[in-house]
Amino acid sequence: MGAAMAAPTHLGNLSSLGWLLPEILVGLAVVAIFLLDLVVDDKERLGDVALGVMAIAIVLITRLLWAGDRSLFENSVVVDGFGLYFKLLVALAAFGAIWMSLGSREVHRTNQGEYWGILLASALGMMFMGSATNLLMAYLSLEFVSLTSYVLSGYKQGSRRAGEAALKYLIYGGVASGAMIYGMSWIYGLAGSLDFHAIHDALAGSPSGASLALFVALLLTLAGLGYKVAAFPFHAWAPDVYEGAPIPISGFLAVGSKAAGFALLIRFFYTALAHDGGAGAYQLVGGVSWDQLMLALSVLTMTFGNLAALNQQSNLKRLLAYSSIAHAGYVLMGLVVLTTDGLRAMLFYLAVYYVMNLGAFLVVMLVANSTGREDLDGFRGLAWRGGAWPAAAMAVFLFSLTGLPPLAGFVGKFYLFAAVVERKMYFLALAGVVNSVLSLFYYAKVVRTMFLEQPTGGEGAVTVDVHNGILLGVLVAATLVLGVAWSPLMDFADRSARFFLG
Amino acid sequence: MPTNPLTWMIFLPLLGAAVILCLPRDNHSLVKWTALAFTIPALLLAIGIYQGFDRTTAQMQYVTKIPWIPSFNIEYFVGIDGLSVTMVLLTALIAPICVAASWEIDKAPKAYFALFLVLIAAMMGVFCALDFFLFFVFWEVMLLPMYFLIGIWGGPRREYAAIKFFLYTMVGSVLMLIAMLALYFHNDPHTFDMLKLAEARSTYSSTFQSLAWLALFIGFAIKIPAFPFHTWLPDAHVEAPTAISVILAGVLLKMGTYGILRVNFPILPEGTLRYAFWLLAALGAWNIVYGALCAMAQKDLKKLIAYSSISHMGYVMFGMASLTAEGIDGAVLQMFNHGTVTAMLFLLVGVIYDRAHHRNIDGFGGLASIMPVYTAWVALAFFAAMGLPGLSAFISEVLVLLGGWRNYPGLTAVAASAVVLTAGYMLWAMQRVYLGKPNEKYLNLPDISPREIATLVPLGIIVIVLGVYPHAILDLIDTSLQHLNGTVLAAGKAAGAVASAASGAAAH
C-alpha cells in the first residue's frame, strides 16, 4: 500500500497509456471494424464484434475502480471515481444500444458495417467526456460525440425524417458548440488556463470584478453543455432527432449522450467554478451565482419538457424525447443544491434513468419491429393482442419514469428531492413534485392505450424474440430490484461522488 | 421464517400475486381459489391478533424492526397499536369477502386477482408501517393496482375515473413526500421512524408545524375524501367493479383518516390544535351535511352510497377534531363501522346490478316482493347506515356527537341534524327501489344466491354485535387513543404555557 501511495499520480504521455486501456481498446476496435467492413459480407458479425469489444471494455473499466486516482496526459484527462462511474454508464449504454441494434429491423435493413464503428466511436467520445479536466479536451470529446451522433441519427436510408433529423442536429449542434468554444475562449482569457483546476485557482484568487465577463462566458459555455443534455432552451433538436433516428440510436442519445453531457457539466462546474467547502457543501468561486442560473434552468427545463409532452399526441419517440428533456430538468436539481448529497443523487438518477429509459425505447422498438409503427395508435390494446409482457414491461418503465414506488425511478427522484429539501429549497422541491404529477398524465396515457383500450384489429401482432427478450427481462428486473434494494448502487454512486483534484 | 404475523399479513398476498401469475391462463377457478387461499390466512392471523392484543397499553405491539437502507436510516419497521389494529382487522376481513364478491370476473382473472392481492398487501402495509418511508412506499404502491382495477374492469367511463383517482391521489402524496423529507432532515440523527419523529414534537417550530401539517393534511384529505377534494370518489365508485368499490369505501378511504391520526396528531400536535376547528371540525361537519345533500340528489344507487360515504367519513373527521375521549374513540369506531356497513351496501348494490345491469333508483320498484331475502339484507344495511340504535354505526355516531358537543356545540347541532338527512335519503331510496308496486320487467329476477349471502353474513354479524356490544372494539382502541389525545392536549398546554410566559415577560 505504501508503494502505491508513493507512485506518481500525475502521469506523462507514455505512462498514461496503461490507465487508458478501455479507451484504447474501443479506439482500435473502431479502426478494425472499418477495415473488416471491406472483407466481411455479413455486417451483423461486425455488430457482434462491437458488442464483444464493449463487454471487454466494461470489464476493463471495472478493474480500474480499485486502482486509485491518476491524472493523465499532463492533466488533460483524469481517472477518478467520478469519471469511472460515467465511463461505466456510457459503456453500458453503448452495450445496450449495440444489443438493441442487433435486434432492430431498421438497422438490419441498412446492412452497413460502419454503423457499428461509428457507434463505438461515439461511445469512445462519451467516455472521454466524463474524464476530461481541460477545456480543450472537453471540447474535443464533446465535438467528437456530436459528429458521430449526426451520422448515426441520419442512418435510416431513404427516410426524409432521418435526413431532417441529422441536418437539424448538425445545425443546432454547430451553433451550440460555436457558442461554447467562444465562451471557453473568454474563460481562458479570464483565468489564463484551460485546466479546470488552474481555472479554479485563478478565479478563487482574483477579486470578483470580472464577474460579469465570467457570467457571459458561462452562459455561452452552457449552450454547448445544455445542448448535449437537452436542457431548455437548447433542447429544440431532441424531438426531431429522436423521431428521425433509428430507435436504438434514440435510446443511446437519450441515456448515453445525456449522461456524458452531465458528466462534463458537473465536473466543469464543480471543480472549475466551485470547491468542496467541507461537510459536503460546495462553495462557489469567481463571484458568479451560477447555482441560481441552474435553478432557473432546472425548473424551466422540467416544466417545458412536461408541458410539451402533454401536448404530444402521437409519436412515442417524440413523447420520450420531451420526457427526456423533463428528466434533464430533474437531474439539474441535484446541481442546484451544491452538495455531495445532490451530486450522488445525480449519479444515482442517471444510472436509474439509463435502465428505465432504455427499456422504454426497447419496447417502442419491439412494437416497431413487429408492426412498423411508432405512434400511439400502434400501441392500442397491446396487452390484449399477444403483447402482454412488453406492455407490462412498458408500464413498469413508464411508471418508473413517473417516479412511483416500488420502482427504481422513485428512488432516484426521492434522493434528488431529499437533496433539495435538505437545503430547505422547498420551492424547487415543489416544482419537482408538481412536474412529476404532470408527467404522470402523459405516461399514463400510453399505459391507458396499451391496457385500457381494446385493439381494433388493424394494429398487427407483436412478438418478442429471444434476443430482445433477454435485454427486456434484464431491464425490467433491474427497474424492479433497484426499487427495493438500491443500497449497492447508492453506495457505488456515493463512492463515486468525488473528484480527483491532484 | 419471519415470526411476526404482520409481516406475513403484508407479504402473503404479494406471494399470492406471484403464484397467480404463474398459473395457467385458462383455469379460472384455480386462480380464484388461489386468491382466496392467500387471503384466508391473514384473516386467521387477524383473529389471533384480536385475541392476543394487549388492551392495557398504548405501546406498539407485534413490532419488527430491520434495517432496510442503512445509509439513509430507512427501516422495515412494522407494529400496531390500538389505532392500527382495527384497520388491520378490517382489511383482513374485507379481503376474502372481496375475493368472493369477484367470483364472476371473467375478463383476464389472472391479472385481476394478482393486482387485487397487491392492493391488499399495500393497504395492510400502510396500516402496519411505522417507518414513514415504508408508509409512503405502501401508500403509493396502492395506486397502481387500483388504477388498473378500475381502468380495465370498470364501467363505461372507467378510463376517466381511473386517471382521475390516480392524479388526485398523486397530488396529495407528493406533498406528503416533501413534508416527510422535511421531518426527516429536521431531526438529528435523520430518521423516518414515526415514533422518534413524534418524540421530537416539541422541537418543530410553529411555522414548520403549520406548513408540514397542511401538506400532510392535503395528502390525507384527498383520500378521505374531504370537501373540496372529494370529486374523484363518486366517479371512481360508479365505474369500479363491485369488489373494488367495497375495498375502496371499506378500507381505502380509512387510510386518509388513519394517516391524520397516525402522523398529524402525534408528530405535529401544535398544528393539529391550530387547525382542529376549521380543517377538521368545520370541514368534517360540512362533509356530513354536503355528502348527505348530494346523496339525496342522486339517481344512481351506487352514486348515492358513494356520497353517503363522504357524509359518514365526515363523522370521523368531526370526532377526532373534538379532542375528547368520546370523540376520538367514536371516530376510530366509526372508521371500523363505516368499513363494514358500506361494504355491505356496495355488495348489495352489486347484487342488483349483476341482475338488472343498471342502478337507476327510479328504474326499479317493489323488489321486496320479488327478492324478499335480498331486501331483508338491504334493510339491515340501510338501517345500519342510517345509524339506527342497536346497530353498530349508531354507537360511533353518538360518541362522535357527544365528544363534539363539549367543544363545538354549534357545529354538533349542524352535524346531528344531518342524521335526519341521512334517514331521508336512505328511506327514500329504499321506498323507490324496494317498496311499492313491482316493476313488470323484473318479475323474474332470481333472489340473492348463497355465495352472495356468504359475503354478507360476517359483515351483518359484526354490524349487529357491535351495535349491542361496542366494547368488542372500544376496548381495543381506547388505551392507545386516550394516550394519543393526551399527547395532543399536552402539547397545547406546553405551547400555551410558553406563550403566556412570553406575554408575561413582555408585560413586565
pLDDT digits (tens, 9 = 90+) for A60-87: 999 998 888 888 888 889 999 999 999 9
Cell triple for residue A159?
427516410
In-domain check, residue B506 = no
Q: What's the one-letter identity of residue B181? A: L
pLDDT in tens, A347-389: 999 999 999 999 999 999 999 998 888 888 889 988 888 788 9
For the ranges B120-124, B155-159, B472-476, which has the lowest average pLDDT? B155-159
- Given a cut of 60, whether residue B371 has pLDDT beyond it is yes
Contacts with B73 from chain A: Cβ below 8 Å: none
A417 touches chain B (CB under 8 A): yes
CB distance A404 to A274 below 8 Å = no
- Given a cut of 70, whether residue A50 has pLDDT beyond it is yes
In-domain check, residue B508 = no
Residue of B135, B171, B178, B208 for testing the chain A interface, max A β-carbons within 10 Å? B178
* Confidence category of residue B497, pLDDT binned at 50, 70, 90: low
- Given a cut of 70, whether residue A398 has pLDDT beyond it is yes
Four-residue CA torsion sign, B154, B174, B256, B415: negative
- Given a cut of 70, whether residue B178 has pLDDT beyond it is yes
Contacts with B143 from chain A: Cβ below 8 Å: 404
CB distance B390 to B463 below 8 Å = no
Residues B437 and B388 in one domain: yes
Q: How far is B157 from chain A (nearest CA, A)?
A: 11
- Given a cut of 80, whether residue A313 has pLDDT beyond it is no
B309 CB-near residues (< 8 Å, 6+ apart): B233, B237, B249, B253, B291, B338, B342
In chain B, whose CA is at the least distance from the CA of A399? Answer: B144
pLDDT reported for residue A6: 46
- Given a cut of 50, whether residue B196 has pLDDT beyond it is yes
Contacts with A487 from chain B: Cβ below 8 Å: 69-71
In-domain check, residue B471 = yes
In-domain check, residue B507 = no
Q: How far apart are CA B245 and CA B94, in angstroms?
A: 11
**Closest residue to A491, CB basis, from B71, B170, B181:** B71
pLDDT reported for residue B141: 93
- Residues of the domain holding B350: 275-500
pTM, two decimal places: 0.94
Distance of CA A184 to the CA centre of its chain: 22
CB contact under 8 A, A404 and B143: yes
pLDDT reported for residue A17: 84
CB contact under 8 A, B163 and A444: yes
Q: How far apart are CA A23 and CA A12, in angstroms?
A: 17
* Arithmetic mean of pLDDT, B466-491: 92
Residues B261 and B281 in one domain: no
* Confidence category of residue A277, pLDDT binned at 50, 70, 90: confident
Residues B220 and B349 in one domain: no
A369 CB-near residues (< 8 Å, 6+ apart): A103, A104, A105, A468
pLDDT in tens, B286-315: 999 999 999 999 999 999 999 999 999 999
For the ranges A239-243, A312-316, A354-358, which has the lowest average pLDDT? A312-316
Residues B256 and B322 in one domain: no
**Closest residue to B166, CB basis, from A436, A444, A490:** A444
pLDDT reported for residue A4: 43
- Given a cut of 60, whether residue B385 has pLDDT beyond it is yes
B110 touches chain A (CB under 8 A): no
Four-residue CA torsion sign, B430, B431, B435, B438: negative
Q: What's the one-letter identity of residue B33? A: W
Last residue in a domain, options B220, B240, B267: B267
Instruction: Tell me: cis bond preceding B438? Omega within 30 of 0 counts.
Output: no
CB distance A483 to A406 below 8 Å = yes
A280 touches chain B (CB under 8 A): no
Contacts with A421 from chain B: Cβ below 8 Å: 178, 181-182, 184-185
* Arithmetic mean of pLDDT, A257-281: 91
pLDDT reported for residue A454: 87
CB distance B176 to B219 below 8 Å = yes
B457 CB-near residues (< 8 Å, 6+ apart): none
In-domain check, residue B505 = no
Average pLDDT taken over every residue of chain A: 90
Q: How far apart are CA B172 and CA B340, in angstroms?
A: 26
Q: How far is B231 from chain A (nearest CA, A)?
A: 18
- Given a cut of 70, whether residue B33 has pLDDT beyond it is yes
Q: Which helix (H) or strand (E) holds B69?
A: strand B61-69
B346 touches chain A (CB under 8 A): no
| Percent of chain B scoring above 70 in pLDDT | 97
B222 touches chain A (CB under 8 A): no
Q: How far apart are CA B344 and CA A162, in angstroms?
A: 60
Contacts with A434 from chain B: Cβ below 8 Å: 174
pLDDT reported for residue A207: 66
- Given a cut of 70, whether residue A138 has pLDDT beyond it is yes
Neighbours of A47 (CB within 10 A): 22
CB contact under 8 A, A404 and B174: no
- Given a cut of 90, whether residue A500 has pLDDT beyond it is no
pLDDT in tens, A430-488: 999 999 999 998 999 999 999 988 888 777 788 888 999 999 999 999 999 999 999 99
Residues B246 and B182 in one domain: yes
B141 touches chain A (CB under 8 A): yes
- Given a cut of 90, whether residue A35 has pLDDT beyond it is yes
pLDDT in tens, B309-345: 999 999 999 999 999 999 999 999 999 999 999 999 9
Kindly report the backbone phi and psi dihedral angles of residue A71, in degrees, each rounded to the nearest multiple of 5, phi listed first.
-110, 125
B174 touches chain A (CB under 8 A): yes
* Confidence category of residue B373, pLDDT binned at 50, 70, 90: very high
In-domain check, residue B148 = yes
B214 touches chain A (CB under 8 A): no
Axis crossing angle, helix B372-386 with helix B325-356, rounded to the nearest 10? 150
Residues B314 and B239 in one domain: no
* Arithmetic mean of pLDDT, A274-295: 86
Among residues A334, A356, A327, the alpha carbon closest in space to that of A478 is found at A356
- Given a cut of 80, whether residue B201 has pLDDT beyond it is yes
Cell triple for residue B446?
332470481
In-domain check, residue B76 = yes
pLDDT reported for residue A5: 45
CB distance B475 to B331 below 8 Å = no
Last residue in a domain, options B267, B294, B311: B267
* Arithmetic mean of pLDDT, B45-52: 94
pLDDT reported for residue A3: 40
Please state the domain count of chain B: 2
Cell triple for residue B333?
369506531
Residues B243 and B331 in one domain: no
Average pLDDT taken over every residue of chain B: 91
A7 CB-near residues (< 8 Å, 6+ apart): none
Residues B200 and B288 in one domain: no
Q: How far apart are CA B249 and CA B339, in angstroms?
A: 7
**Closest residue to A417, CB basis, from B140, B159, B177:** B177
Kindly provide the ipTM of the predicted complex, given to two decimals: 0.92
Residues B258 and B314 in one domain: no
* Confidence category of residue B503, pLDDT binned at 50, 70, 90: low
For the ranges A123-127, B95-99, B418-422, which has the lowest average pLDDT? B418-422
Residues B125 and B148 in one domain: yes
Q: Which helix (H) or strand (E) holds B141?
A: helix B132-141
* Arithmetic mean of pLDDT, A98-123: 87
- Given a cut of 80, whether residue B501 has pLDDT beyond it is no
Four-residue CA torsion sign, A417, A419, A425, A428: negative
Contacts 24+ apart (CB under 8 A), A184-188: A184/A135, A184/A139, A184/A217, A184/A220, A184/A221, A186/A213, A186/A214, A186/A216, A186/A217, A186/A220, A187/A135, A187/A214, A187/A217, A187/A218, A187/A221, A188/A135
- Given a cut of 80, whether residue B388 has pLDDT beyond it is yes
pLDDT in tens, A150-203: 999 988 877 888 888 889 899 999 999 999 999 999 999 988 899 999 999 988
Contacts with B141 from chain A: Cβ below 8 Å: 404-406
CB contact under 8 A, A404 and B166: no
CB contact under 8 A, A452 and B69: no
**Closest residue to B141, CB basis, from A406, A414, A436:** A406
Q: How far apart are CA A180 and CA A183, in angstroms?
A: 5
B195 touches chain A (CB under 8 A): no
Among residues A219, A218, A82, the alpha carbon closest in space to that of A499 is found at A82
In-domain check, residue B479 = yes
Among residues A57, A118, A45, the alpha carbon closest in space to that of A87 is found at A57
Residues B240 and B320 in one domain: no
Q: How far apart are CA A88 and CA A69, in angstroms?
A: 16
pLDDT reported for residue A208: 61
Last residue in a domain, options B218, B235, B267: B267
* Arithmetic mean of pLDDT, A394-410: 94
Residues B282 and B191 in one domain: no
